[in-house]
Structure formats: C-alpha cells, structure tokens
C-alpha cells in the first residue's frame, strides 16, 4: 500500500507572480512530491502530495523569499500511523497473536545465567500460563565490570528451554552485527531502551525476519519511539511491538517513572501492539503485580516481566525480579482483569488485517 497523504501545505506570499509560484512548485517536485495548487484571489496555496523528506523540503522552501509559510500537516511517521492502516496489527509468533484477542505474558529472568536457572524459569513460566520466555544473552550494562551475558552460549540455552517447554523466546540484540546470530535462535528480537535510537541496528532489523519488541528509550518521547518503529517498518519489517518500560524523571523512589498513559495514547496514534514492562518501570518487585494489573486494565496487549528462581542470587536485576511463587500468584490475580480485557477487545471488534 502506498501512502499518498498530504504531508505539507505551502502558502505563497500575497500577490506572488506565476514565475514565483512555478519556482516553488519546481522545488517541491525536486523533493519527489506531486503538487496541487489552490488559487485564491490574492494568495496561492500549494498542497504537496506523496512521500519524501518533509523536513528537508520545508527547510528548503522556507529559504525561498516568495514562500510565506510551509507547514507539515501529517505525522512524520507514516507506516506505523493509524492513517496508513486501520485496525490493529497482529504479530504472529509460534502460534500466538500479539495485538489480537489474547493477552500475552512474556516472562523470565533478566539474564540467562546457567542451564538450571533458565530451565527452572522456563518451566515456571509455562506452568503459570505464561506464553513467551524472556532472558538476555547479550546484556547492556551500565558498568563494564558487570555481567555482560553468556552470548551464544546463552542463546543455546534459550533454545533448549524452548525445546523443553514449547515457549517462544524473546531475547535482546544489541548490535547490528549480531542480528543474524540472535535471529537464528530467537522468535522475537528485543531492542533495549539504550538502543532505541541505534539507527544502524534499527535498519538491520528490517531484514531480521523476526518480530521486534522495541523498548522506549530512557529519555525518549512518544514521537521518537514511533519514529524508531518507523525505521524498522520502512526497512522491511512490519512486525514491531512497542514496549513502555518507564522513563527517567526527577523521581528516584522508583527506578523509572512508568508513563502508563503512553499505552492508550500510542493506541490512538499507531496500529502496532503495545506491551508494558512493569519490572524495569519500577525496579521494585513489590510494585510489579499492581503495575501489571494496571497494564491489563489500561488495555496493553501484554506484559514483559522478570521472574527468577532465586532473585537474591541473580546476576542482574534481582531486586525487580519476582520469585516463582509471587509470579504464580500474580498470574492468578490477573485473571479477572484479563477476562474484562477480553470482553472489551471483543466489543471493540478488533479487525484482523
């Protein structure tokens, strides 16, 4: 489907000559747009139609003396916007649909640490009714002295856990160089908050052949998150799932501040599925169940959370990881919320596309 919106409107100065109007039209065409002119008595207004580099075109037009104003009127992202596609995108993975009629729980440890640890985690996630196993093999750590992940060894353990439990795997890829390797083992590639604007990585994901969970950057706006998703889609991969994981604010009582309203707000702006990570959003195990319930209630498509067989001994993020019994209890406590969630999805009549 080709997006043929009207990305900008150019207003000419009063009483511009035909020659001046033609010069502006030529400049607009130079940027790849078609034009439609609206001729008033005193002023001519030009609508640019099509796809191109809006920012560069506007900058160039505003430098022309005969132009009064050039304004962007459509969102800077196209493929991920609601204007481009009606209904919800449903991302299919391992027999599941994310963004459809099923609330999806992705859970597991922050890092893959050992065979025993990931197997115990996987079995617990499956037994509690979780759908997808998480676990980092490549870890983005603030300090170079902290555990960096088991890398390919970790990926192999994740594969084993999938063979044992049938759970699909989500794991982080940190570098464009590693995309083919991680895609060989994982069902979903996670892009961490710190890499949300790693543009060479985003471009590479266009050809990854796997769905992507794109986490919101620590200090990123909603618009920037959508622009990063646009990179992936524009480079060929339409299976992008957004993830709210909290942002950095002046508040230090929680690890991050959960911008929970970003979920319904994003749903107004994009057709992509949106999940919530209550673990990184809070940094505090005791807050995870309450925020998870809020995530279901506010209409997220799923959760991505940390659970560990022994959080006290975790190599990373132990303080925010649920113990297995806590995870079980949380999954139970979510049930009535998920029932209501399902009913509201049904009545909304989500359109499969």
Using CB under 6 A as the criterion, which residues of the chain lie in contact with ligand PEP when the complex forms? Answer: 110, 136, 140, 192-194, 215, 245, 277, 280
Q: Does 244 bind Mn ion (CB under 5 A)?
A: no
Phi, psi (deg, nearest 5) at residue 294: -65, -35
Work out what residue 140 binds among ligand PEP, Mn ion, none; the CB cut-off runs from 5 to 8 Å by kind.
ligand PEP
Select from 110, 225, 269, 322 the one that contacts Mn ion (CB under 5 A). Answer: 110
Site string for Mn ion, 307-326 (x = CB under 5 A): ----------x---------
State the SS3 of 284-316.
CHHHHHHHHHHHHHCCCCEEEEEECCCHHHCCC
Q: Which residues pair with 303 in a beta bridge?
A: 105, 276
Nearer to ligand PEP, 70 or 169 (CB): 169
Q: Which stretch binds Mn ion (CB under 5 A): 13-21, 62-70, 107-115, 260-268?
A: 107-115
CA pair distance 262, 225, nearest whole angstrom: 11
- Pick between residue 110 and residue 186 the one whose CB is nearest to Mn ion: 110
Side-chain half-sphere CA neighbours of 295 within 13 A: 34
Q: Check binding of 304 to Mn ion (CB under 5 A).
A: no
Is there binding between residue 191 and Mn ion (CB under 5 A)?
no
Of the candidates 215, 266, 208, 262, the one whose C-alpha atom is nearest the C-alpha of residue 232 is: 208
Residue nearest to ligand PEP (CB): 192
Q: What is the DSSP string of 143-197?
A: STTS----THHHHHHHHHHHHHH--EEEEE---GGGHHHHHHH-SEEEE-GGGTT
* Total chain residues near Mn ion (CB under 5 A): 2
Pick from ligand PEP, Mn ion, none: which does 193 bind, CB < 5 to 8 A by kind? ligand PEP
CB of 216 to ligand PEP, least distance (A): 8
How many Å separate Cα 18 from the centre of its chain? 47
| 113 lies in the binding site for Mn ion (CB under 5 A) | no
Q: Give residues in contact with Mn ion (CB under 5 A).
A: 110, 317
């Amino acid at each position: 489907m080709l997006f043929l919106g009207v990305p900008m409107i150019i207003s000419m100065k009063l009483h511009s000559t035909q020659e001046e109007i033609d010069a502006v039209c030529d400049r607009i065409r130079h940027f790849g747009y078609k034009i439609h002119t609206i001729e008033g008595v005193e002023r001519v207004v030009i609508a640019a139609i099509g796809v191109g580099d809006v920012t560069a075109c506007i900058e160039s037009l505003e430098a022309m003396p005969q132009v009064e104003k050039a304004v962007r009127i459509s969102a800077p992202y196209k493929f991920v916007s609601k204007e481009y596609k009606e209904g919800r995108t449903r991302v299919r993975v391992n027999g599941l649909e994310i963004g459809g009629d099923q609330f999806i729980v992705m859970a597991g440890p922050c890092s893959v640490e050992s065979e025993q640890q990931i197997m115990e985690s996987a079995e617990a996630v499956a037994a509690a009714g979780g759908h997808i196993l998480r676990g980092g093999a490549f870890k983005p750590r603030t300090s170079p002295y902290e555990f960096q992940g088991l890398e390919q060894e970790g990926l192999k353990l994740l594969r084993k856990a999938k063979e044992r439990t049938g759970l699909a795997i989500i794991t982080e890829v940190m570098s464009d160089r590693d995309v083919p390797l991680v895609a060989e083992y994982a069902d979903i590639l996670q892009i961490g908050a710190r890499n949300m604007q790693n543009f060479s990585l985003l471009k590479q994901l266009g050809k990854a052949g796997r769905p992507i969970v794109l986490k919101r950057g620590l200090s990123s706006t909603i618009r920037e998150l959508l622009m990063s998703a646009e990179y992936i889609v524009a480079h060929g991969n339409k299976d992008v799932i957004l993830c709210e994981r909290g942002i950095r604010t002046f508040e230090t009582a929680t690890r991050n501040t959960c911008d929970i309203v970003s979920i319904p707000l994003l749903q107004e702006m994009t057709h992509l599925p949106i999940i919530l990570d209550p673990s990184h959003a809070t940094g505090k195990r005791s807050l995870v169940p309450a925020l998870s319930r809020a995530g279901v209630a506010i209409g997220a498509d799923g959760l991505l959370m940390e659970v560990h067989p022994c959080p006290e001994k975790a190599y990373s993020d132990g303080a925010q990881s649920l113990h297995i019994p806590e995870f079980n209890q949380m999954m139970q406590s979510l049930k009535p919320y998920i029932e209501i969630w399902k009913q509201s999805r049904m009545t909304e009549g989500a359109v499969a596309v």
